C-alpha cells in the first residue's frame, strides 16, 4: 500500500514538473531580471496537444506573420519517445490555440529556431540524434516544411542558432555535451558553412 502511494505521489510530482511554455512581456531594461518573471499560468502545455500523447512541450520560438503570432516548439511524443515540432497561433500574443504537428522525422527534433528571410521562412531544428544540422524551408507556412539542405554533419550538434552580420551568416552551435561553443559562417543561409579559425570560441572550464 505504501509503495502504491509513493508511486502515485511520484506521478503527480512528475506531472507538475513537466515542462510547459509561458509567455510574458517585459521591458528591455528588465532582461537581466528575467528569472524573477514567472507567468501565473502556462500558455502552452502538454494537455493542449491533440495529435499525439505529449509528455511535455519546450523550446518555444515566436514569429509574426500577417498579424498572427506563431509559436513553434518541441513536443515530446510519449509513445514514440522522440521530439516533434508543433505550432500554436495567437491574435494577441497571450492566448494561443494549438494547431498541429508540422515537422516529424524518424529521429528526435527540438529547438525549432525559425527565420523569415526575403519573404521565405526557414527552420533549423536540432537534429543532433541524426548527427547533422538541417535547414528546412516552408512550402506552405506555417504547416508544410521540406528539407532544403543539410548544413553540417558528422557530429551530434545541439541548438544551432544563426544570425546575419556584415554580409555573412554566422551559426553558433555546440555539441550535445554542451562543453564548448563553435561558430561556422557562410555567405548565404543555405550555403556551405566553414568553421571559424578560432573554434571553439568558448569552452566550459
pLDDT in tens, 165-174: 999 999 999 9
pLDDT-based confidence at 34, cuts 50/70/90? low
DSSP three-state, residue 192: coil
2-203 is a CATH 2.115.10.20 domain = yes
Instruction: Give per-residue pLDDT as tens, 121-145.
Output: 999 999 999 999 999 999 999 999 9
Provide the pLDDT for residue 27. Answer: 67
pLDDT, mean over the chain: 87
In whole angstroms, what is the distance from residue 175 CA to residue 180 CA?
7
Distance CA 205, CA 174 (A): 15
Amino acid at each position: 500500500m505504501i509503495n502504491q502511494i509513493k508511486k502515485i505521489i511520484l506521478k503527480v510530482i512528475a506531472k507538475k514538473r513537466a515542462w510547459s511554455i509561458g509567455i510574458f512581456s517585459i521591458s528591455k531594461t528588465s532582461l537581466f531580471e528575467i528569472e524573477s518573471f514567472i507567468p501565473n499560468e502556462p500558455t502552452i502545455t502538454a494537455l493542449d496537444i491533440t495529435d499525439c500523447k505529449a509528455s511535455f512541450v519546450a523550446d518555444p520560438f515566436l514569429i509574426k506573420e500577417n498579424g498572427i503570432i506563431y509559436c513553434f516548439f518541441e513536443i515530446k511524443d510519449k509513445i514514440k519517445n522522440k521530439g516533434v515540432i508543433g505550432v500554436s497561433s495567437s491574435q494577441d500574443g497571450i492566448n494561443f490555440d494549438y494547431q498541429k504537428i508540422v515537422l516529424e522525422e524518424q529521429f528526435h527534433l527540438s529547438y525549432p529556431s525559425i527565420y523569415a528571410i526575403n519573404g521565405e521562412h526557414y527552420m533549423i531544428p536540432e537534429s543532433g540524434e541524426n548527427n547533422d544540422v538541417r535547414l528546412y524551408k516552408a512550402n506552405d507556412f506555417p504547416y508544410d516544411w521540406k528539407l532544403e539542405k543539410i548544413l553540417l554533419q558528422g557530429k551530434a550538434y545541439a541548438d544551432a542558432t544563426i544570425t546575419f552580420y556584415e554580409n555573412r551568416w554566422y551559426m553558433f552551435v555546440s555539441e550535445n555535451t554542451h562543453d564548448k561553443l563553435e561558430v561556422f559562417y557562410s555567405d548565404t543561409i543555405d550555403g556551405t558553412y566553414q568553421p571559424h579559425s578560432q573554434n571553439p570560441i568558448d569552452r566550459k572550464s
